[in-house]
Amino acid sequence: MSTCANGPPPEVARLIDRLFNFTPCMFIICDMHSGFNTNVPYKGKMYHVQTEDGGARNPMLTTLLYHKGEILLSEKSSYADVLVDDDWKEKVLERMKDQHRGIIKNLMAGQLTGEQAGKEAAAGEKKELTLEETIIEYIIGAGV
């Protein structure tokens, strides 16, 4: 497991790595990024979120949500509008993180699994989160 500056405390990083098989620095600026990959356990199922950068010649961010190898969702966004900016690399990285986190957040909210309608019907009920769900909520909320 690698560590990055400004990441979560080492004990949290080890727990995240052990539970989710990913290093929290995926959401922190490190030397080089070609994309993000995160395994997300949700309600007894393992989902995989992958975000890739098409590069300056194909300025497109693509995020895929998988379950058992099947693509459940594909979200694409262009960043051609920022290529003329001096700090375009930083802006692209921020957009990548936002898009990747957004898919994880929507997954954890049940919006990508067809559960949202059921959640809205039971809006008054408060479900206790599992440890894995609590850690994902922490990652999303803290902007890790």
Residue 57 belongs to a domain:
yes
Q: Compute the distance between CA of residue 4 and CA of residue 30 in angstroms, rounded to an integer.
A: 7
Does 40 score more than 50 pLDDT? yes
Contacts of 138 (CB under 8 A, 6+ apart): 12, 144
Helix (H, G, I), strand (E, B) or coil at 71: strand
The pLDDT, as a whole number, for residue 52 is 94
Split at pLDDT 50, 70, 90, the class of 30 is very low
pLDDT at 51: 95
Is residue 93, in this structure, part of any structural domain at all?
yes
The predicted pLDDT at position 1 comes to 44
How far apart, in whole angstroms, are the C-alpha atoms of residue 23 and residue 57? 29
pLDDT at 114: 64
Domain assignment present for residue 69? The answer is yes
Confidence of residue 124 (pLDDT cuts 50, 70, 90): low
Average pLDDT over residues 39-54: 93
Mean pLDDT (the chain) is: 77
Specify the pLDDT at position 18: 61
Mean pLDDT confidence for 17-28: 51
What range defines the domain where residue 98 resides?
30-112+131-142
61 in a structural domain: yes
Q: How many domains does the chain have?
A: 1
Does residue 136 sit in helix, strand or coil? helix
What is the torsional sign of CA 139, 43, 35, 111?
Answer: negative
Q: Is 138 inside a domain boundary?
A: yes
- Domain membership of residue 98 (yes or no) is yes
Choice between 31 and 140, residue whose per-residue pLDDT is larger: 140
- Give the distance from CA 5 to its chain's centroid: 19
The answer for residues whose C-beta is within 8 angstroms of residue 24's C-beta and 6 or more apart is: 4, 7, 8, 12, 13, 16, 17, 139, 144
pTM of the model: 0.61
Q: Is residue 120 over pLDDT 90?
A: no
Whether 101 is in a domain gets the answer yes
Residue 59 within any structural domain of the chain: yes
Q: What's the pLDDT band for 8 if we cut at 50, 70, 90?
A: low
